Amino acid sequence: MADDFKFGNSLTPDMIAKINASIQPQRMFAESIAAEQDRMMRQAQEVGEQIYQNRQKMQEAMERTAHNTDVANDRLEKIIDQQSSHIELLEKTNETLQKQLETDQKQLEILQNIFASGEDGVQVEKELMNLIKKEIDETHPLWEYVKDKGGDIAVAGATAGIPILYGAFKAYLLSKGIMLP
């Protein structure tokens, strides 16, 4: 074939056919390489696009997570503030109840001392009358009984009934567990 192709000779159709036949495998090989390169480029682009989309989805998911975390943190902060306020209120209520308990215990001790002291009923009656006299004025219906200096009329009139009232009051307090027997 090299003899057929000499410089300066014109190419005949047979020679062109021979040239085409000799370069045909090289052309087919080059075309198959180009096709494979195109296929690989498309595949690389698809993989790149998929990676990009996955990255976008991950970014959006992270942004949503960050937003949800902020919202949750805000809510938790409000709950903590509310719980702190509630705890403070409970502590104040506890202090108030503790003071009330102390006051109630002092009053109970006084009542126990009155009824367990063995004092004369008349003496206790006089003290009660003096206390009543300090609490009422002349418009009160009991004023007529307690208006004299020591409340002697009231004491004399009530002497018969007061021990019964004391006994009933003491029994009531005992039934409620307020007094010791």
> Does residue 151 form part of some domain?
yes
Asked if 17 and 65 sit in the same domain, the reply is yes
CB hemisphere CA count around 101 (13 angstroms):
6
Would you state the torsion angle of the CA atoms of residues 8, 12, 15, 17, taken in this order, to the nearest 10 degrees? Answer: 140
Q: What's the confidence (pLDDT) of residue 34?
A: 87
Asked if 131 and 146 touch (Cβ cutoff 8 Å), the reply is no
Distance of CA 38 to the CA centre of its chain: 61
Q: What's the confidence (pLDDT) of residue 72?
A: 94
The pLDDT tens digits of the residues spanning 19-47 come to 777 777 777 788 888 889 999 999 999 99
Asked if 151 and 145 touch (Cβ cutoff 8 Å), the reply is yes
In this prediction the pTM is 0.39
The pLDDT tens digits of the residues spanning 81-118 come to 999 999 999 999 999 999 988 887 877 776 666 656 55
Q: What's the confidence (pLDDT) of residue 3?
A: 56
Residue-averaged pLDDT of the chain? 76
> Does residue 73 form part of some domain?
yes
> Does residue 6 form part of some domain?
yes
Confidence of residue 161 (pLDDT cuts 50, 70, 90): very low
> Per-residue pLDDT for 127 more than 60?
yes
Q: Which residue has the higher pLDDT, 136 or 153?
A: 136
Q: What's the confidence (pLDDT) of residue 23?
A: 75
Identify the domain containing residue 165 by its residue range. Answer: 118-181
> Per-residue pLDDT for 153 more than 60?
no
Q: How many domains are contained in the chain?
A: 2
How far is residue 88's CA from residue 169's CA, in Å, rounded to a whole number?
40
> Does residue 126 form part of some domain?
yes
Asked if 10 and 90 sit in the same domain, the reply is yes
Asked if 22 and 65 sit in the same domain, the reply is yes
Asked if 23 and 71 sit in the same domain, the reply is yes
In angstroms, the Cα distances linking 122 to 5, 66, 93, 119, 167 are 157, 81, 41, 8, 14
Distance of CA 168 to the CA centre of its chain: 51
